[in-house]
Amino acid sequence: MTVPSYEFLGFAAIVAILINLSTAPKWRRLVFLVANVLFVASFTLDPRQLFPFAGMLALGFASIKFVQVRKSGAGFAALLVAFVALFCWLKSYAFIPHGWLLPFPYFVIGMSYVFFRVMHLIIDAFQDALPDRVDLLSYLNYTLNFTTLTSGPIQFYRDYRRAESDDLPSLSANDMLRGASRIVVGFFKVSIISPILSSAHASSVALLGGGLGPVDRAVDAAFMTAIFPVYLYYNFSGYTDFVIGVATFLRLTLPENFNNPFVAEGFIDFWGRWHITLATWVKTYIYNPIAISLMRRAPSRRSEGYISVIAYFVAFFFVGIWHGQTTSFVFLGFMLALGVSVNKLYQIVMIARLGRPRYRALCGSAVYAALSRGLTFTWFSVSSLWFWCTWPQVQAILASLTAPGAVLALVLLFASATVLLAALRALDVTVRTAGAPFLNSAIAKTAWYTFLCAMIVSATIVLQAPAPHIVYRGF
């Protein structure tokens, strides 16, 4: 079952009706479990394909129970290593010999997101940081939550458990309106805007291999590099809007995953706005432990900033590797890690030279902020080449540009990003400052969402478009 799709909406509507028939937590949990199992079963007609996935869930639950009963550091470490190894094996990472892999197809959709949830539970169970003992029903509902299974967002267990409480408030009219509006906006992003951007990107890639002159090739390369992260944003944020809206009707509150990432004025700030739940998980379970461990070994205030640089590099190198199993994603991790760690190192150096007040004043400059946004977007765009390109494709792109063309493309990308993002930021500030009472009125909102619905339905009927493709479903 594809998310988002009309089929999924119908399925979620039935589940929402059943869940809201009773206020009893046990009823909601049982209905939700049946829905989650049916959702997983919709992806395959052969139950045997679910066995490896079920084995991963079983190991996760057994690990949680073990560390809750026996506080053994060695046992905890062994279980973490075993679970990570099982995940890498099932996801067929390139460093695993092909002969060791399972010789039959099996279900892997959502496995990466289940990995994050189970790792969170094992670690927090060992640290006594969970709100309560994890029973099997809550474990399955949390890990298999059909609104977040395929592509997140990554919710922490304590936040999910609020949906199973006895005093969960009933759905209000405002809740339903808010949920419906998120569904419409999300569907519009992934079914209308996202395909247009994807088509523009594909056309630009094809054009680069044609008979363009050197300057035209550089312009096309800059556009090709810039359009992909914009497409990825609308594709993934649209999916997130959609599932957050659907979850509202199930009386689930999912975390936000995006917060205007392209207004970020640094790569660290960018990852506080882009795929927020992934960045939060990585900060909690990779960055913080590394930083704390290194600070204990070098307890000096002067070393704290440089320790952060190292911890940032390791944490975001992991982010890249998580995205895929090939060396392209290893290099993606290197690029992301380099961007964040250099950003932190730059902050340390500038504060040392200027002092915090003068550095803060510099960051408040409109020109400096615009240049920072342009540089941040440029770095993410270039890094994203390894998100959608193989090494031969990257080599072909560079060969078609030659060195001067590649430099010109980077300059054009940075300059255009700086100007356009500054203009969009100024427009956004102007609209927010003005208040726009009419645009916030019920009449205007109703007209706007009606227009979006009409566009979605028209595109589906006229173009006979299939359910939208979500890029992050592949992870």
Domain boundaries, the chain: 6-164, 261-388
| pLDDT value of residue 439 | 54
Between 403 and 433, the more confident residue is: 403
**Range 77-84 average pLDDT:** 95
CB of 273 within 8 A of CB of 261?
Answer: yes
Q: Kindly report, residue by residue over 118-175, the tens digit of the pLDDT.
A: 999 999 999 999 988 899 999 999 999 999 999 999 999 999 998 888 888 888 889 9
Flag whether pLDDT at 432 surpasses 70. no
Reported confidence tier of residue 440, pLDDT bands at 50, 70, 90 = low
Between 467 and 258, the more confident residue is: 258
Lowest mean pLDDT among 185-189, 298-302, 305-309, 343-347: 298-302
| pLDDT value of residue 136 | 96
**Range 211-216 average pLDDT:** 87
Flag whether pLDDT at 438 surpasses 60. no
**Range 217-236 average pLDDT:** 95
Q: Kindly report, residue by residue over 259-310, the tens digit of the pLDDT.
A: 999 999 999 999 999 999 999 999 999 999 999 999 888 777 778 889 999 9
Give me the chain's average pLDDT, please.
91
